[in-house]
Amino acid sequence: MSLNLCVLVSGKGSNLKAIIRASASGKIKSKIKLVITNKLTSGAFDICNREGIRCVYMAEENFSSRSKYINEFLRYLRKYKIDLILLAGYLRKLPEEIVKKYRNRILNIHPSLLPSFGGKGMYGLNVHRAVIDSGVKISGVTVHIVTETYDSGPIVMQKAVIVKDDDTPESLSLRTKKAEHILYPKVISLFESKKIKVKNQRVSFV
Ligand code: GRF
């Protein structure tokens, strides 16, 4: 089944690019119908421009009320008939109203093996710095379902990444990103072909 995807981006957008590539090459059947960014500096604008994908700038601070912001967000999701929302470096908590409406249809990718190295302040190079400082030999990537609580929704899939003795946060980040770009399309194709079953914290596909 082909799903209508919405990708939420705050930063560079390398995961967005990877999903576009996977869609263009037929690795996934789904198509990105909408990209939403909350940062004017995001790489999402250029990427979407080149690819002819609708990119919408939406930041809560530009709305006169929270409910107007949420309604506008939901209006876009409905307009583009979005089936699956993918957070790809989206540095903003999604309003609970959206999480509730799209229960089990919102995913996030995190650059560590959750539940380790997640939660407040754990984004970007901070994660990789904490991983190296802890001395663990294996790090990785997690795709999980977004719930009302940060970084702690049910885990869909993980991929391990080796931590090398001479790694810096930057070199570990590069290796981890490569794994992210493989894992996110894999998860999307799972959502395309199977029905998701979520029981407590466990995700299975039937
Ligand atoms: C990725 O490392 C992702 O795991 C995290 O934010 C980063 C986004 O990178 N949530 P990019 O903008 O896709 O390059």
pLDDT per residue as tens digits for the range 75-117: 999 999 999 999 999 999 999 999 999 999 999 999 999 999 9
In the prediction, which pLDDT does 150 show?
Answer: 86
DSSP 46-86: HHHHHHT--EEE--GGGSSSHHHHHHHHHHHHHHTT-SEEE
Q: Specify the length of the chain in residues.
A: 206
54: Cβ below 6 Å to ligand 1? no
Q: In whole angstroms, give the CA distance from residue 133 to residue 81.
A: 44
* CA proximity to 15, closest of 187, 145, 167: 187
**Distance separating the N- and C-terminal Cα atoms of the chain:** 15
pTM of the model: 0.97
Q: Is 167 a domain residue?
A: yes
Question: Which residue range(s) make up the domain with 117?
Answer: 4-194
The alpha carbon of 69 and the centre of ligand 1 are apart by a number of angstroms equal to 24
The alpha carbon of 35 and the centre of ligand 1 are apart by a number of angstroms equal to 15
In the prediction, which pLDDT does 28 show?
Answer: 98
Pocket test for ligand 1, best of 180, 181, 187 (most atoms within 8 A of CB): 180
Q: Whose C-alpha lies nearest to ligand 1, atom 10?
A: 89
Tens digit of each residue's pLDDT (9 = 90 or more) over 139-198: 999 999 999 998 999 999 999 999 999 999 999 999 999 999 999 999 999 999 988 999
Q: Is 205 a domain residue?
A: no
140: Cβ below 6 Å to ligand 1? no
Strand order in 155-162's β-sheet? 55-57, 31-37, 4-9, 84-87, 106-110, 138-145, 155-162, 202-205, 196-199
Q: Whose C-alpha lies nearest to ligand 1, atom 7?
A: 89
> Where in the chain does DSSP place strands (E)?
4-9, 31-37, 55-57, 84-87, 106-110, 138-145, 155-162, 196-199, 202-205
Total number of domains constituting the chain: 1
Instruction: Determine contact, residues 158/141, Cβ cutoff 8 Å.
Output: yes
Q: Is 26 a domain residue?
A: yes
In the prediction, which pLDDT does 168 show?
Answer: 98
Tens digit of each residue's pLDDT (9 = 90 or more) over 20-48: 999 999 999 999 999 999 999 999 999 99
Q: Is 40 a domain residue?
A: yes
Atom of ligand 1 nearest to the CA of 11: 12
The alpha carbon of 100 and the centre of ligand 1 are apart by a number of angstroms equal to 24
Q: Is 199 a domain residue?
A: no
Could you tell me the CATH number of the domain that includes residue 175?
3.40.50.170
The residue whose two tokens read 């470096």 is: 89
In the prediction, which pLDDT does 160 show?
Answer: 98
Q: Is 110 a domain residue?
A: yes
Instruction: Determine contact, residues 107/84, Cβ cutoff 8 Å.
Output: yes
The alpha carbon of 135 and the centre of ligand 1 are apart by a number of angstroms equal to 23
Q: Is 83 a domain residue?
A: yes
Q: Is 126 a domain residue?
A: yes
Instruction: Give Cβ neighbours of residue 131 (< 8 Å, ≥ 6 apart).
Output: 112, 117, 139, 163, 172
Based on the residue annotation, tell me whether 110 is a catalytic residue of this protein: yes
pLDDT at 124 over 90: yes
Instruction: Determine contact, residues 16/88, Cβ cutoff 8 Å.
Output: yes
Number of other CB atoms surrounding residue 65 within 10 Å: 9
In the prediction, which pLDDT does 202 show?
Answer: 97
